[in-house]
Amino acid sequence: MIVYLLYILLLDDDEDFLKLVQKYFQSKGAHVNAYSEPLLALQDFMKNGTNSNSNNNHNHYYDLIISDIRMPEMNGIELASIIRKMNKDIPIILMTASSSSSIREDIDSSILKFLNIEDVIAKPIKLKELLEKVNTIKQKMVVKQHNN
């Protein structure tokens, strides 16, 4: 499985984890812009959100966002909410250090549904499992593009 030519915006305040995930996905052929500060990532998304090579102004540069939930300045839910105002379709995966049994308790499922969050993953994350989730999302994107 590869994520060749997928453009990912990656956010986590743990810089060691951030570098590990970035290098892993880059080794699989993805383009990854990684940020430990949500406001900088949001600036990048706002600046580079549209693909200038496209005639369609709603076709965004990033294919996927992977973000930690708990970060300084702004949490992952707040970030997703702002991004949804600019792009209602981009897949978003949230990561949390909460145990998998308490994820749904910590995050209101109606908020996840409203923000169209693709998945919530508990840390520690197994990179191979994250890769499988990303590949599933990529396959859905290919099918959606093919049907349009």
The whole-number average pLDDT for the span 116-135 is 92
Fold (CATH) for 7-147: Rossmann fold (3.40.50)
- pLDDT, one tens digit per residue, over 61-75 is 899 999 999 998 899
pTM: 0.86
Average pLDDT of the residues in 85-94:
93
Give the pLDDT mean for 3-14.
89
Average pLDDT, the chain: 85
Contact between 93 and 119 under an 8 Å Cβ cutoff? The reply is: yes
Omega before residue 124 within 30° of 0, cis: yes
The residue extents of the domains of the chain are 7-147
Quick check: 144 pLDDT over 80?
A: no
Instruction: Give the residue-averaged pLDDT of 32-57.
Output: 77
**pLDDT of the residue at 66:** 97
Give, in degrees to the nearest 5, the angle at Cα 123 between 103 and 8: 100
The pLDDT of residue 104 is 54
Q: What is the pLDDT of residue 3?
A: 66
What is the pLDDT averaged over residues 10-38?
96
